[in-house]
Structures are given as structure tokens and as C-alpha cells.
Structure 1
């Protein structure tokens, strides 16, 4: 994982630390915030600490970036943006619901996308549950393009989900499409997305 410390007009994007465990609990314990995410909401501060160690800790190493999204005035995480280190360069985000509809993730993600371009990352992908179109709206605002939809038995929740896959290429290869999600799904198709 690379070190990160970015600022925007309203935000600081930085690494999570052990001092953020209360904030991690607030973000990842909310059922509504985590409804469309692969994991179950954490139920105790101990589960939040385990989640931090396995998903957010800079030493974990499965992400290129795992950013705490903080308002400048407090520098306390209210959300996160991550970029996976696998060949999908999976771009993910979440935000405490009292901060929804203020453009916070779009603002922070735009800054991180600029950093990814500087780092030479060729592209990013992002997926959203068809039942969560607001997440797709964020992807569109970031300049990501819809590529295809596919069905997956999502773990650990063990539910069938139709995902829409979006992609943003940084290196000029406009026709590149990351196909692994599609190729691993028997049920894949292209929708008319407006």
C-alpha cells in the first residue's frame, strides 16, 4: 500500500490509524451504510478493530490505497475510499449517512483519481448493486463508463446480486474493458443505462 495524504477544499484523505477505531466502528456498524457492501456490519468495537486490521490497516497490503475521508475541520474519518491492488484496481467507497448528498465522496474520489493517474495506474473499475443506483451516479460523476452487468453469489452474505460494472481508463486505451467479472458469471449482459 502506498502512503496517502491529500487535501481538497473540504477534505483530508489520509491513511487510517489505530486512533480511528471509534470512527471505524461508526462507519462500519451502520446497517444502512453497509447494506450494499459485501461484509456484514460490525456489531462491537472489537469487531471494528478486527475489520480495521484486515481491511484498512496500512500494513494489510491488499490495497494500493485505503483512504480515510475526513472533514478538514475535524480530521476524523466519516468515510473511506479504497483502490484494490489486484488487476481490477477495484475502486470502492462508503460514507456515514448523515453526510450523504453533499458531494463528499465525489470530491475525495476526484482527488484520488488524479493521484492514481500520476502513479501510472492504467484504469479503475467499480461495481454497484442494481438496487443501489446512487452509487452508480457517483461513478458517472467521476467520469466512469458503464461496461456490463453480471450476476454473482455475493460472499459472505451468500445472496445473489446483479452488479453493474463501470470503468475509467487513464492511459488512452479507450476500448479496454476489464472482463474478469463478466467471464466468471454465467449470467452477464449489457443494459441500456441512461
Structure 2
């Protein structure tokens, strides 16, 4: 198990094939999946055959980027973070994302992990811009983005195959550039 990043309370490590139960349990909580699928759980077969192999493949194709299992210092699985370029992104731009177990909500883990990834991206990974997206109505995730130093850029609408309660209000994009991060006197580190 390779540690990617450590913070005061978190270890972000590479996923392994043995994480299928962790991911299945995470995606089985309707509250966790509320703003993603409307609360519908992800079937274990989909986690095992699609999601986890995609997570693992990232380590080979994009050094320093991908999906990272988040654990507390006792080794308890809390969820995951991603820090990765999307296929449509220009060079130097990456998307930040996170999904944590309900028991980890409201404890600052999402902000702590996000700040550490932004810091690593701007200092070690030649990143120029970090962005994150969520539903307009997902206030908790929006607060994490703001605490991480990202600023609201735009509200936009996407065509989703299944409507989720609140999706009529659209999605929101937050972002921060390396220059903005470097010149911020209260820079989140």
C-alpha cells in the first residue's frame, strides 16, 4: 500500500483490489449518494468491474494524479478523494473531488484532504488551475470548496439521464489558479 499524502489526521493512499468492500459500502449509503444518483446505491458488480479498475488504472497513466483512499491515522477507511485531469481539460488543469462516509462528515476531513491536494498540485505536480463541481443545492460541498480557497466561477446546467431532486437549480463550478493560491495571504496549506 503506497501512501500518496499525509496530513495531520489523514492518510491518502493508493486503492487496491481489496478496497471493493470499502467502496461498495460507501456507495450503498443513500445519504452519501444523494447528490450523485438521488440516493440509488452503486451495485457491487459495478464497483468491482468498472469503478475500482478505473481508479487503479489512473496510477499508471497519470503519475501523481488519480483516486486516493482516505483513512484516518488508525487505518479506518473514511472515503476517497480524486485529483485528476479530465479528458477535456487543458494541460495543467485538474478536478478535485471527494466522497466521504457519513460518519466522517462535519469533522473537517474533506477540507483537510482538499487543502493538502491543492497544495501538492501547486507545489509538486505542475498544476496551474484546480476546479471542483457540485450541485447548486449541495451546500456542504460548496462550503468545503470555499474553505479550500476555491471561488465560485459559474452556475451551469447539464443533461443527466436521471433527474435528482435539486438538479433543476444546476451545477456550480469553483476554482483557484496557482497565482491566486500563491498570492493569498491566508493561503490554505
Question: For the superposition of Structure 1 and Structure 2, which TM-score range results when normalised by the shorter chain?
Answer: 0.7 to 0.9
Whether 1:57 aligns to 2:52 is no
Q: Secondary structure at the match of 1:20?
A: helix
Match of 2:83? 83
Alignment match, 1:116: 121
Distance 1:117-1:94 versus aligned 2 partners, 3 A rule:
same
Q: Give the structure-2-normalised TM-score.
A: 0.78
- Structure 1: gaps (5+ residues): 175-194
Number of aligned residues: 168
For 2:152, the equivalent position in structure 1 comes to 146
Deviation at 1:46, TM superposition (A): 2.4
Q: Quickly say closer, same or farther: Cα 1:16–1:173, change in 2 above 3 A.
A: closer
Q: CA deviation at 1:83?
A: 1.9
Matched, 1:33 2:32: yes
Q: Quote the Cα distance in structure 2 between the aligned partners of 1:48 and 1:26.
A: 10
Q: Give unmatched runs, 5+ long, in structure 2.
A: 183-189
Q: What SS does the corresponding residue of 2:78 show, helix, strand or coil? A: strand
* Preserved contact between residue 80 and residue 94 of structure 1 (Cα < 8 Å): yes
SS at match of 1:79: strand
Q: Is the 8 A contact 2:11 2:73 kept in 1?
A: yes
Q: CA deviation at 1:139?
A: 0.3
What is aligned with 2:187? none
Computed over aligned residues only, the root mean square deviation of the Cα atoms, in angstroms, reads 2.5
Residue by residue, what CA displacement relative to the aligned partner does 1:30-76 show, whole Å, maximum 9, x if unpaired? Answer: 12101212695313x3232122123x2245747922111111112x4
Distance 1:117 1:38, change over 3 A: farther
Provide the secondary structure at the position in 1 that maps to 2:32: coil
Asked if the contact 2:32/2:100 (under 8 Å) is kept, the reply is: yes
Change (3 A) 1:153 1:104: same
